[in-house]
Amino acid sequence: MKLLADAGIYVLVAIADPSHAINRASPVASYTVTNLQHYFRVVDDMARYSNTLGLVVANEVVNDHRSTAAVPQVLRAVTRDLKRYMRLHAELDGEDAVRDNQRGDEAGNSALAGEARQWTRQKISSPGMGRRRRVLPLGYSAPDVAMLRVPMFEYCIAGPEEEAMDFYAFNNFSWMGESSIEISGWNHLERAFSRTPVPVFFSEYGAQCGKPRIFRETATALYTPAMTRTFSGGIVYEFLMGKNLYGLVKLRRLRPRAISEGHAERLDSEREEAKNTQQSTEASQPGLGSIQTHVSDQKGESSENVPVAEDDKGSVPRTGLGGYVEADRNSDDAGVIEVLQKFPDFENLRKALIACRQLRNPPPALPSPKLERPIIDSDSGDSAVDNSAAGNRETTGGQPTATEMPAVLTRPAFPPMSRSWLANSEIPPSPLDWTEVKAQIMADGEWVDVAELVAGMSLGGNSDD
């Protein structure tokens, strides 16, 4: 993680592995103490790092109407338990930790600093490996199943904050080669998610129709105002070459280096075009340079400088929008990809996650945000909060105070049950004894897989003999 932080790379972490995951065939049976203990270990490992962007609770476990009968409820139950576990840690770590968490870890994840969007990168300062842990955003990565797309989204983010997800992502490969927002159907996606109260992004994109892939959607759609007003970018599928031949680069067995197949260079070119287009748009229309989050507009918002990787001499390497350090074209390593960095992919997502979290959960020492939207005085430019219920009106100039922070869009209602959507809002109770969990946290204990420990001891004994 330190190497990634030094390279300016933020990480989304999946909490499940093949041995500890929600089984769509028997979701309730897979909601066990053992699996939750594994998830908590992932939190313990990753919540200490300032470049951990968030946690993905599950990936593509709801893929047809039959799996909606019980899987969504288990997803919410796991989300509830993870949030409770992280909150327990924050409370036991003290009010300073709670404040730092809700402010988004200003050391590495502050999203509201700086006056204008800057296309430079900085190393991410990483906290020490102490006890203090962050409260991380939680989300779900869904398959692109048309009939489940909106119901699953609404179900994941609806209801109480204690069990609702903080971001939502889904895979989409409908853009094929030289397409458009209309032909690909992305205009329908933008309308469907336009009122989202949480960040939404593509967890996989980049259809393969010819080699190398041209990634025109990156330059002409995904990072244009038509999409960024709703979506927070996307993740290209995928980095390393696998059996499905979608990888941007492949690793050579004999020499430890990554060789591009042409996909990475094309993606780099399209990202550079997207960057130039966005900068030109912001220069001609300054209003578009403000933070593109899924909260109401507020005065004084500004964006964070995107991290940049520096070389040993302190200078910034030459990089394109994709973040690849340019190799010497005359050298033998001209095709070597030295660094892969997400450049604007998670810029909007990071800012939106932190802005939403701050508005929903203000620091304890500050007053709670009022739900009324501010009214802008067109003459003075000051913001006035409509507080008719209290019978008065507060007015301030300049940047909004905590009591004037605008509210995020409200979470939607649970989707109604139907033949294609079988989930209700009742989620299973936690199998954990939270008194024991709290005691282990206070003792700074660690969940231990006893079977794995015993097996390791046995192997160790045999090796000594």
Res. 463: pLDDT tops 90 = no
- Does some domain include residue 384? no
d(CA 385, CA 407): 12
Q: Output the average pLDDT for the chain.
A: 71
- Does some domain include residue 111? yes
- The answer to whether the bond into 238 is cis (omega within 30° of 0) is yes
Summarised one tens digit per residue, pLDDT across range 9-47 is: 899 999 999 999 999 999 999 999 999 999 999 999 999
Confidence grade of residue 193 (pLDDT, cut at 50, 70, 90): very high
- Does some domain include residue 251? yes
Is 204 considered catalytic here?
A: yes
Query: Across residues 338-352, what is the average pLDDT?
Result: 47
d(CA 421, CA 425): 12
Of the residues 190, 204, 304, 404, which is catalytic? 204
| Residue count (the chain) | 465
- Say whether 109 sits in a helix, a strand or coil: coil
- Does some domain include residue 280? yes
- Which pLDDT belongs to residue 273? 74
Would you say the pTM of this structure is higher than 0.75? no
Token readout for 41 is 């270990």
What is the tally of structural domains in the chain?
1
Domain range enclosing 329: 2-372+395-457
- Does some domain include residue 386? no
- Which pLDDT belongs to residue 133? 75
Confidence grade of residue 140 (pLDDT, cut at 50, 70, 90): very high
Share of the chain above pLDDT 90, in %: 42
- Does some domain include residue 330? yes
Res. 243: pLDDT tops 90 = no
Token readout for 256 is 């430890």
Cβ burial of 363 (10 Å; 0-12, 13-18, 19+) is middle
Res. 349: pLDDT tops 80 = no
- Does some domain include residue 432? yes
Closest CA to 201 of 178, 169, 173, 172: 169
Q: Which helix (H) or strand (E) holds 408?
A: none
Summarised one tens digit per residue, pLDDT across range 397-434 is: 333 333 333 344 688 899 999 999 999 999 999 999 99
Is 60 considered catalytic here?
A: yes
CATH number at residue 143: 3.20.20.80
Close Cβ partners of 108 (under 8 Å, ≥ 6 residues apart): 5, 49, 50, 51, 124, 125, 126, 127
d(CA 148, CA 207): 21
- Does some domain include residue 146? yes
Of the residues 60, 261, 282, 310, which is catalytic? 60
Query: Across residues 320-326, what is the average pLDDT?
Result: 31
Query: Across residues 450-462, what is the average pLDDT?
Result: 57
With beta carbons less than 8 A apart as the criterion, state whether 142 and 189 touch. no
Res. 332: pLDDT tops 50 = no
With beta carbons less than 8 A apart as the criterion, state whether 72 and 63 touch. no
Closest CA to 116 of 275, 283, 245: 283
